[in-house]
Structure 1
């Protein structure tokens, strides 16, 4: 799993869930009718954070796969990344500020070793003040309005820009940023009064979120800078992040089964999880506002209006079979509606959205119809805790896929596509076991530790859950454990890998509970966890997926994001290397029919309206993404908008023609309305999300058609079938090969790539 922290600015604006700090304002000063949960400046590190940093440093400098000393050179790397996380667009600090901060440049190592984090916290406190100051400056600009008849331009991407020279240059930068915000709304048809209200509210809400940022946020950001400076996939996780990471891996939690979203000062119900207490009660609905939370049948209600979303979540989550009370307002009544009280009993809730799913695509060509099964796997999940406790129903990607394969065989599919697009990885154990569903037995991946020792991991259980034609669909977001699976399928010749070049993450992480190293365990500290790179994995052919990823057998056009997204974009990524191959033999040769399939693919997509539309949309996306700046002249922007609107209108017309006129496309929703995501109505957001799920998927459709072609070639040529089906095509019905997979032995979990598990005691720390 790719687990990266965004620069703080993007986190605050895009997600609208972070916050921090009080200055000396009261709730009334902030314009709130109810108390807000705000922090007090200056934020100060506590002893637990200093201890967590020191423990992390000992682990990283001794047991990391590429252990590096925490010296002046590393301090400078941390310093650079810390400011990138705080102010990556260089819109808060100036060159004058950076000159004052320069005293810390080579001192962060000493700060950690001496358990004195005052320097990093000083910078974070200054960030908070600057962020508030900039938003107040922008609010002041709204009163006077702007002249859009100038030739001013606004730089879209400032990641490589210099820091503004001084406050005057910073003010000019913010004038242009605010102008652009205003201009987008103006082009969308908003009046000046509406624009002022919208932007003033936007900037005010941002200030509120910044004032809620606390010491955990400061420490999390600093430690992320340290961890990521060692390699791109080593991360520190504070208590909040560690809990959410654990939930994402086991796809379950104990709570009420509701997805929450922040809407201005309020927490709204965005989604109800099927089977959870909330939806079963029939009393909670999408769009309802949560105003208060109480524990137990009679505990006092805590007012959560104005709170950050993760603090509200922490109040609502709790142990299974305990009671929580919610004070809500029905969404259809608005925030001033009549309050209602709901009592719910928490239960274990399964998050099915990220679980494996299946569907069947029927392809008809030249009078022949074939069924192609598709399994979408968003991540390689596993509930390690439940598995170690002997729970026979523990959540597992492999178990779920094995079950879905059985259902697809019952439905009579003739080929299977495993869709791993945007699957960021997960459990190494699951990647190994999942591969075992498609090979008889043999090695799957090689893992090398810091001492250079190589261990081969593989499938020891004979038999397959699916022995028929197979394709694996990948893209740039396919990473880590997904690359292990894709590479093994490719190296064995077990199936076709189709799509675009994958991410290129070839390292293995383990999750270390830092509380294990507390000097006084009885004090029950909460140090968080360290996800540390401890190994590198290699394909069974000896090559690495590091940096280079997996090259598909049949390549689809990309969207150009490889320049901004992928292992090769990290300055400190490990280099590509290779080792000796494992002892394995390919079971088939995809090259035997790959040229024929490519010819059929090329001929088909050349005549496919859906494919050509996808290519045109990709070209338009690249054109917009490559812009370095945009004009702030109204007439020029209006001309550009009309041109873009015409292009989008043509795309919509073509979509409707391809979909047979059945697509529910809101023409107005396609245009830039000038709003941020959380400023639109929840109803419109959810509608857009549902429409996206229903939208045609030309790449998946074409991959299914490629597999359709493969089946036709196999059926027509027994000799070819012997070359491209596993083990000479002698296995016949794959149902006979499913004797052992899906009821697997459960060895002690290994460390894994990306997403991580709790390791064996001292397994990656040498007994420390």
Structure 2
């Protein structure tokens, strides 16, 4: 399984509208400005995607009127999620195609897409005038009116007048919130310094409109950089999502980004960039990268020009961020010359030799902590990463094995493996990692579209760690994380603690390069398709699909009642089960039941956990409160009420567990040379020292260790008595 390209990850496709609102980095989603239209490429793409999915998907949906209705619903919602662009008349016109999209797909007909794309471009241009007009004059916060932010249930505007009113209220709510925050800050400054002259409400009101205008201009600036292909990708993914939540199309740049996320590396200079007005600003240097090693490029530098080796320097002021990124990235060993404006105003030309850049946050890390005189290890695994293009590259299986070995040498008596928020990754790495903790045996069962079952085994008899083990999960632990937790639970090898259940993704995807299929066409790079080809099952026969993995010890979670799992996704595959695989339960687990009981009792009595549970119920109740008053006095009254309740939960954020976490010796050596790594590890250790969940995981390890010590003490005592008698 080492060289397979099977992917187990939670839903990671982000809609374009969400993506453009985020900071873009060197390895991030790329946006193009080329406005050229190539309908033949679009048709080839549709034909390839439908052909491959129908042949390769685990359970392809029937392309019929219901399929068409699903495309229509998802696509329109993705184009205008807050219903601030389209009018009801537009929707009436679009709805004529609601039952025709399956036929258009089969016929490679782009009529519906072209209509919606052209209309959206028109409405966006109109919206620019609307918000600029609204923000040109002061708001009256004394009048009685409110605004409902439940956009899903809100109707579309009947006409332009109604649309302008919707925009006005939406912007007014934003500026009102900003105004009240600014006034609080002014009051705080006055309390600290009685001589401070507080800004008037008129001045603050004007500042909030200027700030809102700047934000909207930046947003529409990013939207303007999108080309037709980007919107067509959105349309395609509205089609793909009808098969299941994890089937999606990757445009060429998206595929590159996906590969980077899986391997944790790319070739470039190792700098994160963001747009700052017409300039591109350096916001961070990636530790260990060539820009960081060169020590010339700095955070806050503004890019003016980019040149390749001895080539002509190209002015990048006003250029799109994605285009600048493409000019800076390049193969290992090549040179790029950056003309930058330093923070002191000086201009410098900086030469950097590109290299492989590793994104440190992708990789596993570990820490040592002492509790009751014993050392324990905490391993954090953010992703089951694997470099598919390089068999000798880093992978999660090898790296976790290395960390376990290092922790053993450090003398730890128990290990916590933290896969909270781990959305998954490579199938082969999870088999390798689970195998570190058992002698040998099945780890997961896999069924393909042909319904044939395959059992994936750990065949290595060596046990890397046979001591006490805890796996930490939450509702965002998905796919590969769930396989690991399920296997450890079924073997009764360790104790699973965390949220009530994990995410609930029990499917396997494969990324298929589309270019070989379209090699005889002039369509250019066609990107790739990630499609669901298998379902996986626990060795006990049950599926993790929808149900996830239930924790042995459930810890209260502030977001426990919100709908965020696979079971809340449309088009999710159903739960089912198959026959179990033959496996032998771990023998040294006789104390597990009592340890679990002890943990549950601690949690029930713990005031902090009680507070977290209470907050979870409050957060859930707040999720249905969508109407806000736009009258300043009433808005402040409502916010004060919320703030007074929220203060009750402040101890959750302020909590400290009084445990000290430290890096292993090899990492301490690296931190002495790398201030960025040192800062990152210190932040991580600080977060661990405030983490009540990690504290309880260590309590569980302590219980297991104490029981083990008591058992050994009893054995020694019996041995002594026997010697005395003889």
Q: TM-score, normalised by structure 1?
A: 0.81
CA deviation after TM superposition for structure 1 residue 215, in Å: 2.3
Q: Which whole-Å deviations, capped at 9, do the CAs of 1:3-48 have from their partners, x for residues lacking one?
A: 4334444333355799999xxxxxxxxxxxxxxx8555xx734432
Q: Which whole-Å deviations, capped at 9, do the CAs of 1:366-422 have from their partners, x for residues lacking one?
A: xxx2222111000100011111xxx3xx11001000000011111111110110000
CA deviation after TM superposition for structure 1 residue 106, in Å: 3.1
Quote the Cα distance in structure 2 between the aligned partners of 1:63 and 1:603: 49
Q: Which whole-Å deviations, capped at 9, do the CAs of 1:139-179 have from their partners, x for residues lacking one?
A: 21112322222332222332233333333332222121011
Quote the Cα distance in structure 2 between the aligned partners of 1:452 and 1:348: 41
Counterpart position of 2:69: 76
Matched, 1:533 2:527: no
Quote the Cα distance in structure 2 between the aligned partners of 1:380 and 1:440: 21
Counterpart position of 1:766: none
Quote the Cα distance in structure 2 between the aligned partners of 1:352 and 1:19: 19
Q: Name the SS of the counterpart of 1:577 in structure 2.
A: coil
Counterpart position of 2:722: none
The question of whether the paired residues in 1 share the 8 Å contact of 2:657 and 2:695 is answered with no
CA deviation after TM superposition for structure 1 residue 691, in Å: 6.4
- State which drifts further: 47-56 or 481-490: 47-56
CA deviation after TM superposition for structure 1 residue 74, in Å: 2.1
CA pair 441-20 structure 1, distance change in 2 beyond 3 A: closer
The question of whether the paired residues in 1 share the 8 Å contact of 2:378 and 2:417 is answered with yes
The question of whether the paired residues in 1 share the 8 Å contact of 2:441 and 2:458 is answered with yes
Counterpart position of 1:712: 706
Query: Which of 325, 337, 340 is matched with 1:325 structurally?
Result: 337
Counterpart position of 1:444: 443
Counterpart position of 2:269: 256
Counterpart position of 1:515: 515
Matched, 1:288 2:301: yes
- State which drifts further: 547-556 or 196-205: 196-205
Q: Name the SS of the counterpart of 2:424 in structure 1.
A: coil
CA deviation after TM superposition for structure 1 residue 297, in Å: 2.4
CA pair 693-302 structure 1, distance change in 2 beyond 3 A: farther
CA pair 512-395 structure 1, distance change in 2 beyond 3 A: same
Quote the Cα distance in structure 2 between the aligned partners of 1:318 and 1:657: 46
| Alignment map for 1:117-128 (pairs within 5 Å) | 117-128=110-121
CA deviation after TM superposition for structure 1 residue 651, in Å: 5.4
Counterpart position of 2:123: 130
Counterpart position of 1:33: none
The question of whether the paired residues in 1 share the 8 Å contact of 2:23 and 2:274 is answered with no
Quote the Cα distance in structure 2 between the aligned partners of 1:157 and 1:691: 36
Quote the Cα distance in structure 2 between the aligned partners of 1:166 and 1:645: 38
Query: Which of 265, 284, 289 is matched with 1:271 structurally?
Result: 284
The question of whether the paired residues in 1 share the 8 Å contact of 2:270 and 2:291 is answered with yes
Q: Name the SS of the counterpart of 2:389 in structure 1.
A: helix
Q: Name the SS of the counterpart of 2:212 in structure 1.
A: helix
Counterpart position of 1:218: 231
Counterpart position of 1:698: 692
Quote the Cα distance in structure 2 between the aligned partners of 1:594 and 1:720: 20
Matched, 1:637 2:635: yes
- State which drifts further: 429-438 or 91-100: 91-100
Unaligned runs of 5+ in 2: 1-8, 184-203, 661-678, 716-726
Q: TM-score, normalised by structure 2?
A: 0.85
Aligned-residue CA RMSD in angstroms?
2.9
CA pair 494-691 structure 1, distance change in 2 beyond 3 A: closer
Q: Name the SS of the counterpart of 2:368 in structure 1.
A: strand
CA deviation after TM superposition for structure 1 residue 602, in Å: 2.6
CA deviation after TM superposition for structure 1 residue 82, in Å: 1.1
Query: Which of 375, 382, 386 is matched with 2:379 structurally?
Result: 375
CA pair 304-649 structure 1, distance change in 2 beyond 3 A: same
Quote the Cα distance in structure 2 between the aligned partners of 1:279 and 1:47: 44
- State which drifts further: 84-93 or 586-595: 586-595
Quote the Cα distance in structure 2 between the aligned partners of 1:220 and 1:719: 65
CA pair 8-538 structure 1, distance change in 2 beyond 3 A: same
CA deviation after TM superposition for structure 1 residue 119, in Å: 2.7
Quote the Cα distance in structure 2 between the aligned partners of 1:105 and 1:210: 26
CA deviation after TM superposition for structure 1 residue 653, in Å: 6.9
CA pair 690-268 structure 1, distance change in 2 beyond 3 A: farther
Q: Name the SS of the counterpart of 2:425 in structure 1.
A: coil
Quote the Cα distance in structure 2 between the aligned partners of 1:123 and 1:62: 30
Quote the Cα distance in structure 2 between the aligned partners of 1:493 and 1:269: 49
Matched, 1:2 2:15: no
The question of whether the paired residues in 2 share the 8 Å contact of 1:20 and 1:38 is answered with no
CA deviation after TM superposition for structure 1 residue 243, in Å: 0.3
- State which drifts further: 285-294 or 637-646: 637-646
Quote the Cα distance in structure 2 between the aligned partners of 1:13 and 1:385: 31
Query: Which of 168, 172, 188 is matched with 1:175 structurally?
Result: 168
CA pair 128-234 structure 1, distance change in 2 beyond 3 A: same
Counterpart position of 2:60: 67
Quote the Cα distance in structure 1 between the aligned partners of 2:84 and 2:213: 19
| Alignment map for 1:591-740 (pairs within 5 Å) | 592-603=591-602, 606-607=605-606, 609=608, 611=609, 614-615=612-613, 618=616, 621-646=619-644, 658=656, 694-695=686-687, 696-717=690-711
Q: Name the SS of the counterpart of 1:254 in structure 2.
A: strand
Query: Which of 337, 353, 365 is matched with 1:357 structurally?
Result: 365
CA pair 20-101 structure 1, distance change in 2 beyond 3 A: farther
Quote the Cα distance in structure 2 between the aligned partners of 1:302 and 1:282: 23
Unaligned runs of 5+ in 1: 22-36, 663-686, 722-768
CA pair 13-153 structure 1, distance change in 2 beyond 3 A: farther
The question of whether the paired residues in 1 share the 8 Å contact of 2:281 and 2:302 is answered with yes
The question of whether the paired residues in 2 share the 8 Å contact of 1:7 and 1:88 is answered with no
Counterpart position of 1:347: 355
CA pair 380-658 structure 1, distance change in 2 beyond 3 A: closer
CA deviation after TM superposition for structure 1 residue 519, in Å: 4.5
| Alignment map for 1:548-559 (pairs within 5 Å) | 548-559=547-558
Matched, 1:312 2:316: no
| Alignment map for 1:24-103 (pairs within 5 Å) | 38=33, 40=35, 44-103=37-96
Q: Name the SS of the counterpart of 1:386 in structure 2.
A: coil
Quote the Cα distance in structure 1 between the aligned partners of 2:428 and 2:713: 36
CA deviation after TM superposition for structure 1 residue 657, in Å: 7.5
CA pair 621-689 structure 1, distance change in 2 beyond 3 A: farther
| Alignment map for 1:375-524 (pairs within 5 Å) | 375-387=379-391, 391=392, 394-500=393-499, 501-520=501-520
Counterpart position of 2:574: 575
CA pair 246-720 structure 1, distance change in 2 beyond 3 A: farther
